[in-house]
Amino acid sequence: MSYLVLARKWRPHQFSEMVGQEHVVRALTHALDSGRIHHAFLFTGTRGVGKTTVARIFAKSLNCETGVSGSPCGVCSACREIDEGRFVDLLEVDAASRTKVEDTRDLLENVQYAPSRGRYKVYLIDEVHMLSAHSFNALLKTLEEPPPHVKFLLATTDPQKLPVTVLSRCLQFHLKRLTPVLIAERMRFILQAESIAFESAALPLLARAADGSVRDALSLLDQVLVFGAGQVLEADVRSMLGTLDRGHVLKVLERLSERDAPGLIAAAREFATHAPDYDQVLAEIASLLVRVALLQTVPDSLEEGMQEWEPSLLAPLASSLPAEDVQLYYQMALMGRRDLAHAPDPQTGFEMTLLRMLAFRPATDAAPTPGAVAPAAINRQTASTSTRTSSARSSASPTISPASLSAAPLPRASASPEADSAATLVDENDWQSLVKALKLSGAALQLAANCVLRQREGSVLRLLLDPKVSSLRTPACEERLTVALSQYFKTPMRLDFVAEDLPASAPLDTPARRQAQAVEERLNTARADLETDPTVRALKDKFGGALQADSVRPLL
C-alpha cells in the first residue's frame, strides 16, 4: 500500500477539525445552518493555511445527503466522493494552469445544466488571481448572476491582483497565518495519534520554520521522520533545518552579561566551525533577547508549549542582565543583520556586532570584571572628559534641588528701583534649572519661563510674571505649573503671583529672556561671520550684492 503523506492524511474533513480559523468557520457554519448562502465565496490567505480545505468542506456541507448544514455527515456517498476527489458536481480548477479565456469559456459552457448527483454544482477555482483579464471578463457575468444551483468558491494567495469587479461580487474570508504555538500543538496531536516518538523541544523549531503554514509544517515533519528514521529528535531537526544549537546562543549572552570579552569572542568563533548563516545567528540572538525581556517584565505572557527556551534556562540571564541592556542588545542585533552585507565578511560583521554590544553597554559603578572592555587609557580619557563636561555644566546652569530654594525674607525697599529689582532676585540660575527639570510644554512652559522667583516660604512660591505676557496666566496654566512643581518637590505646592512695578530700563531676567538673548547672540555672531566670509565678500564685490540680515535663521 502506498504511503499517504501526513498533510493529506490529516487534512480536516469537518469544520470542527480546522485549527486557528474559528472566525471563518463560525461565519460559514451560521450561513449553512440558516440557509443564507451566497452564490460566490472568496478565500484568501498565505500558502498552507486551509483555503482549499475550507472550500471542500463547504462543498460537502452543500451536497451532504443528510441536508445542508455546517456539520456534513462524512459517510454518505457524496461526502466520501468529495473527500476522494471524484464527485462529479465539484469542479476543481487550478487557474495557474488554465489562464486562457478559452479555458474559462469551456469551464462555464455547462453552467446552466443542473447538477448530476448533488444538490449544487460547485466550481472551486484555486489561485484565481492567475486568470487573465479576458478570463475574468468571461467569468464576470456568470459570477454575478449564476443559476440557483451553482456556487463559486474562489481561493487565492494574492487578492490584490483580482479586479474590484470580481471582489465586489464575492463574500471574502481571510484565513490567518497560524501561530507557532498552534502549529506545534497540531503536530503534537498528530504524532501522538500516529504513535511516533518525539522530543518536545523539536516541535517549536519545526513550527517556526513552517512560517504560519500547517501544510509546510507537516511536510517538514515527514522530512524529519525520514531523516531521523521514524523519530522526531531535536538534534535531527536542527541538523536538517541548519539551525543553531541553543546552547551556543545562550553562551554568547552569558558572556555579554559577564562583560567577558575574550570569552565572548571565543563563543562567537565556536559558530564558525558549523559554517552558519550569521544573519540567522543574529536573528536567534534577537529572538532570545525578546524572551528574556518578556521574562523580566511580563513572565505570564510566554507562550505555553514553546518549550525550546524554558523559563528555568533563561531565569539566570534575566536576573543578571539589566532591562536597558536587553533592549540595547536587541536593537544592535537588528542593526547587525542590516550591516552584514557591508562587512568585509559575515563572520567579521558578526563579531563586530558583539563587540559593539559590549562597547556601548552603559557604564556602571561596579569594578569591571576580568576580561571586560575597559582599557585604562579609555577610562582616564572618559573620566577627564566627564569632569570637564560636569564643570562646564555646573558653571553654566547649577543643579537644582528642593533644598536650594530655601525660604528667604522679602527684601526691604531700596532708594533705587533698579537696585531694588536686582536685589530681590533669588538665584535666577536655580529657577531656570528648575523650569527645565519640570518637563513642561506649551502654554504652561511659557508661563514658567516668563517668571522670576521672588521667594519661597514653605510650600508657597512667590513668582513675578513679566507684565508683557500677563495673558499667559490662565487657570489651566497655573494648575499645570502647580502640579508639576508639587510632583518635583514631592509635596503640595501653591503659587502666589506678586505684582511689582518695574522700570522699562530693568526688564525681568526670566528664562525666556535669557533664551532670547542667547538666540540673538548666535544670530549676531552668524551674521558677522557671514559678512567676513571670503566667498560672501567676493560675491558682494563682483555682483554688488548685499547680505539680507533677516534671511539668517538659527539652527534649532
Instruction: For the chain, give the percent of residues with pLDDT over 90.
Output: 17
Predicted model pTM? 0.56
| Residue 27: predicted pLDDT | 92
CATH architecture designation of domain 417-506:
2-Layer Sandwich (3.30)
Cα atoms in the Cβ-side hemisphere of radius 13 Å centred on 254: 13
Three state DSSP letters for 73-91: CCCCHHHHHHHHCCCCCEE
* Residue 298 pLDDT: 77
Instruction: Assess whether pLDDT exceeds 50 at residue 254.
Output: yes
pLDDT at 28 over 90: yes
Domain range summary for the chain, segments of one domain joined by +:
6-174, 180-241, 246-359, 417-506, 515-551
Q: Comparing C-alpha atoms, which of 89, 90, 88, 108 is closest to residue 98?
A: 108
User: In sequence order, what DSSP letters do the residues of 304-366 get, joined into one string?
Assistant: TT-TTS-HHHHHHHHHHS-HHHHHHHHHHHHHHHHHGGGSSSHHHHHHHHHHHHHHTSPP-SS
Q: Which CATH class for the 246-359 domain?
A: mainly alpha
Round to whole Å and give the CA distance between 353 and 94: 48
Q: Is the pLDDT assigned to residue 394 strictly greater than 50?
A: no
Q: State how far Cα 372 lies from the chain centre.
A: 32
Tell me what pLDDT residue 427 has: 52
**pLDDT for the residue numbered 310:** 64
- Residue 292 pLDDT exceeds 60: yes
Picking from 326-330, 394-398, 552-556, which range would have the lowest pLDDT averaged per residue? 394-398
Strands, E, within 100-219: which ranges?
121-126, 150-156, 171-174
How far does Cα 104 stand from its chain's mean position?
A: 43
Helix intervals (H) in 85-160: 101-108, 133-144
Residue 451: strand, helix, or coil? strand
The total of other beta-carbon atoms located within 10 Å of residue 458's CB is 9
Question: In this predicted structure, which of 98-102, 258-262, 359-363, 476-480 has the lowest mean pLDDT?
Answer: 359-363
Residue 361 has pLDDT above 80, yes or no: no
- The answer on pLDDT for 436 being more than 60 is yes
Report residue 379's pLDDT band, with 50, 70 and 90 as the boundaries: very low
Query: What pLDDT, on the 0 to 100 scale, is given for residue 386?
Result: 42
Given pLDDT bands bounded at 50, 70 and 90, which one contains residue 193?
very high
Closest CA to 211 of 24, 50, 49: 49
Average pLDDT over residues 163-176: 90
- Averaged over 494-520, what is the pLDDT? 81
Burial 60-94 (b: 16+ CB within 10 A, else e): bbbbbeeebebbbeeeeebbebbbeeebebbebbe
DSSP 269-310: HHHHTT---HHHHHHHHHHHHHHHHHHHH-GGGSPTT-TTS-
Higher pLDDT, 117 or 542: 117
Looking at domain 6-174, its CATH architecture is: 3-Layer(aba) Sandwich (3.40)
> What integer is the mean pLDDT of 159-172?
90
Q: pLDDT per residue over 30-54, tens digit each? A: 999 988 899 999 999 988 899 999 9
| Of 248 and 183, the one with more pLDDT | 183
Rounded to whole angstroms, the Cα distance separating 491 from 15 reads 63
Do the domains 180-241 and 246-359 sit in the same CATH topology, yes or no?
no
Per-residue pLDDT, 62? 92
Say if residue 243's pLDDT is above 90: no
Q: For 464-478, b where at least 16 C-beta lie within 10 A, e where not — what string?
A: bbbeeeeebbeeebb
Cell digits for 491? 509635596
Residue 378: pLDDT band by 50, 70, 90 thresholds?
Answer: very low
Alpha-carbon distance of 474 to 220, in angstroms, equals 69
Q: In the structure, what pLDDT confidence band is assigned to residue 375 with cuts at 50, 70 and 90? A: very low
Sequence-distant contacts of 254-257: CB under 8 A, at least 24 apart: 254/317, 256/321, 256/325, 256/329, 256/354, 256/357, 256/358, 256/361, 257/317, 257/320, 257/321, 257/325
pLDDT score, position 393: 40
pLDDT at 205: 85
3-state SS of the chain: helix, strand, coil percent to 5? Answer: 55, 10, 35
pLDDT digits (tens, 9 = 90+) for 404-425: 454 433 333 333 333 333 333 3
- Which one has a higher pLDDT value, 340 or 391? 340
Q: How many C-beta atoms surround the C-beta of residue 541 within 10 A?
A: 9
Instruction: Supply the mean pLDDT for the chain.
Output: 80
What's the pLDDT tens digit per position in 76-97?
999 999 988 889 999 888 887 7
Q: Are 49 and 176 in contact (CB under 8 A)?
A: yes
Task: Compute the average pLDDT of residues 389-400.
Answer: 41
- Those residues whose C-beta lies under 8 Å from the C-beta of residue 24, and which sit 6 or more positions away, are 18, 43, 54, 173, 174, 175
Please tell me the predicted confidence (pLDDT) of residue 56. Answer: 92
Confidence of residue 1 (pLDDT cuts 50, 70, 90): low
More reliable by pLDDT, 381 or 540: 540
CATH number attached to the domain at 180-241: 1.10.8.60
The answer to whether residue 384 scores a pLDDT higher than 60 is no
pLDDT of 156 reads 92
pLDDT surpasses 90 at 57 = yes
| The pLDDT of residue 188 | 92
* 316 vs 391: CA distance, rounded Å: 40
Print burial letters for 362-381: b (CB count within 10 Å at least 16), e (below 16): eeeeeeeeeebebeeeeeee
Return the beta strands (E) in 137-289 as ranges. 150-156, 171-174
In the chain, pLDDT over 70 holds for what percent of residues?
83
The pLDDT value given to residue 60: 92
Give the residue among 94, 165, 154 at the shortest CA–CA distance from 122.
154
Q: Please answer whether residues 226 and 235 qualify as being in contact, where contact means their C-beta atoms are separated by less than 8 angstroms.
A: no
Measured distance CA(191)–CA(187) in Å, rounded: 6
